[in-house]
């Protein structure tokens, strides 16, 4: 790793009120094989991306035991362990893989506890800074699923607990069991159907981690508001989409993922894009 001076992409947010991370993070799903299944075609390239992310000042890396499965966690340890003191590795459990692009929720308390133990071993840590319930298993009471993670938090194996793909009511139900530090839902410039969840997270002061944060589609067509604003900033539409997310709420922690160092560098540079009030309003009027 080089001695590149790291910056603070997107500013700083304190997970759980006590764990500072730079708001623009990195999502480590794409460093696996096709269908988020198996080893990547270029393991050395995946390791290079992870190391370059840290060099660029990224301190929040999000993964899951189901990415591979297990491949992403293994690569993160290989690339970054022993972890720099300021780097937070967040992982998730609660989805079982039955094949490429296949995901099955399993939230039995015994299973979740087993997966936490395995993630601890794969990542090479004694405590996971942020452990997220990857999906709510409809066959198991939410209180039991979150309660299992709360027991591991009490045992010192989890620092903070998060949720993924939940509605506003489920956040409140989970928060009645234990403190919730984050929620990770699909959200981007073109898909904002979780706006109410973002509002709840903002009101509660917990992190909102939008997965699939870059989705510009037709909004980036030549002559569009997004394309025009990007051109004026000498930026890409994807960078504008990330800049919009960072501006949208102070609790927003985008985690764009990529297997390309060049694309990674482009994404991190989005933190330097400052939207005017008019530009933010124009972009906010798009999509949804």
Say if residues 130 and 159 touch (Cβ distance below 8 Å): yes
Residue by residue, DSSP assigns 220-288 as: GSTTSHHHHHHHHTT--HHHHHHHHHHHH-TTB------S-HHHHHHHHHGGG----HHHHHHHHTS--
4-16: pLDDT as tens digits: 444 577 899 999 9
Q: Delineate the domains of the chain, giving CATH numbers in brackets.
A: 12-214+249-255 (3.20.20.100)
Q: pLDDT band at 103, cuts 50/70/90?
A: very high
- Residue 6 DSSP code: P
Predicted pLDDT of residue 288: 57
Instruction: Tally the C-alpha atoms within 13 A of residue 202's C-alpha that lie toward its C-beta.
Output: 13
Predicted pLDDT of residue 9: 78
**Is 33 a residue whose pLDDT tops 50?**
yes
Is 131 among the catalytic positions? no
State percent of the chain over pLDDT 70: 97
Residue by residue, DSSP assigns 162-184 as: EEES--HHHHHHHHTTS---EEE
Q: What's the average model confidence in pLDDT over 260-277?
A: 95
Q: At what angle do helices 261-269 and 43-55 cross, to 10 degrees?
A: 20
Say if residues 161 and 149 touch (Cβ distance below 8 Å): yes
Query: Is residue 131 classed as helix, strand or coil in its secondary structure?
Result: strand
CA distance 251 to 154: 25
With CA atoms as reference, report the closest residue to 237 among 186, 273, 212. 273
Please identify which of the residues 67, 83, 131, 187 carries the catalytic annotation. 67
State percent of the chain over pLDDT 90: 90
pTM recorded for the entire structure: 0.94
Predicted pLDDT of residue 221: 83
Tell me whether the omega of the peptide bond preceding residue 206 falls within 30 degrees of 0, making it cis.
no
For residue 102, list its beta bridge partners. 99
Least confident range of 3-17, 165-179, 196-210, 217-231: 3-17
Least confident range of 5-9, 101-105, 263-267: 5-9
């Amino acid at each position: 790793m080089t001695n590149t001076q790291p910056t603070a992409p997107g500013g700083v947010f304190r997970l759980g009120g006590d764990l500072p991370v730079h708001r623009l993070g990195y999502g480590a799903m794409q460093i696996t094989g096709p269908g988020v299944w198996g080893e990547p075609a270029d393991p050395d390239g995946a390791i290079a991306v992870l190391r370059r992310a840290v060099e660029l000042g990224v301190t929040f890396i999000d993964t899951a035991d189901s990415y591979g499965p297990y491949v992403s966690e293994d690569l993160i340890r290989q690339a970054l362990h022993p972890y720099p003191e300021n780097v937070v590795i967040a992982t998730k459990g609660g989805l079982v893989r039955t094949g490429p692009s296949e995901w099955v929720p399993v939230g039995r308390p015994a299973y979740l506890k087993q997966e936490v133990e395995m993630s601890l071993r794969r990542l090479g840590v004694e405590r996971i800074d942020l452990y997220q319930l990857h999906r709510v298993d409809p066959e198991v009471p939410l209180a039991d699923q979150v309660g299992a993670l709360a027991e591991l938090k009490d045992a010192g194996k989890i620092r903070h607990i998060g949720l993924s793909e939940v509605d506003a009511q489920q956040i409140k139900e989970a928060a009645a069991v234990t403190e919730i530090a984050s929620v990770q839902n699909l959200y981007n410039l073109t898909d904002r159907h979780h706006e109410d969840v973002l509002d709840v997270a903002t009101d509660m002061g917990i992190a909102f981690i939008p997965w699939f944060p870059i989705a510009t589609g037709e909004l980036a067509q030549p002559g569009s508001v997004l394309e025009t604003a990007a051109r004026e900033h000498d930026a890409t539409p994807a960078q504008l989409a990330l800049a919009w997310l960072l501006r949208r709420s102070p609790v927003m922690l985008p985690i764009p993922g990529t297997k390309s160092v060049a694309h990674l560098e482009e994404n991190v540079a989005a933190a330097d894009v400052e939207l005017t009030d008019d530009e933010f309003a124009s972009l906010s009027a798009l999509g949804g």
